[in-house]
Structure 1
């Protein structure tokens, strides 16, 4: 068996459909569909797209995330299922906040969409932060005082770049620079302009295709000598 075959079997059962009904909806034969559930063959791209639309789950999730271990109802689904975030609460029912470790922040670039990686992160609970999904990121350097090495920025997930507000601060997760905390200045056709609060650093552009995630500043965690 495979993750994919287990997933489509699970999703079909959740929809309460038979193999025949699912195959008819996908416009393929029952025997062909059964071969996918039994992992004897893999569907071509056009069938995979139809499956994704039928089950309302993105192709990358069908192929890479074991939905028996990470049920969809226990996850926060972001636009187009691009990222799946396990929603974990403490014993009082408050959603917990994952902390991206200072020494392994670059690992976040490969693990940000992997539920198992997210679940492996340490967590804290800040009950005063509500109505959103929050995560804590390590600060780096001296470009955004008062944040410096050893402190953390707690960000609220931003679903769309259209939500960015001029002169507000955000954690930008990009394929080129990794995790960076900057102030949003303006949006261009193919990029956004950001700036550091430390005037020593010049504003610069981040190409839109490099942006993986954006988190708006919500709170901070500072070292003892702050």
Structure 2
């Protein structure tokens, strides 16, 4: 299981670089996960007016966590997106910039859902249980394969023990939660999660969560090769 704690903190950032190895002024990265042939997760912090060419497929998505980012569309018109935007990566791997500085999550992979603004806004959330809400960004109706979405735990809410038939990647965006993990051999481990923690749960895994404070998470389920 791969964990990264406190990824929003000012520590342990690396300078972003171009394909030729040159440093990109004002842009910093933390690489969370790179699965060959699968999903990859990278956090980037842009200083004010910094620019960077984002590598990756146009199927990739940029989730704006703080600030704003300016991305050119197919017609070459630059559109400014604010926190809560879920944006497509430029088709040509072109440059993006941040007029006021920003923190973004870059996810590359297939079937990540349609772009849109305001994913943290009140509309579009559904209740999944007492004190628990979710908003899907992309889904498979059986919940057995690709699912991408947001989940919100009200303070004091609890997610009962459950299993997943896919790889399960979670980024805690805010708040705290106690996460009990049950491994196939019956071993249990409880971890305190907080905003900025990224967890890559391997398959198979079971877990249950309790949040005293409430929390918001991004979850990405990726189908695994049964072989």
Instruction: Determine which structure has greater relative contact order: mean sequence separation of CA pairs < 8 Å that are 6+ residues apart, divided by chain length.
Output: 2
Q: Which has the higher helix share?
A: 1
TM-score (norm 1): 0.28
Report the structure number with the largest CA radius of gyration.
1
Q: Which has the higher strand share?
A: 2
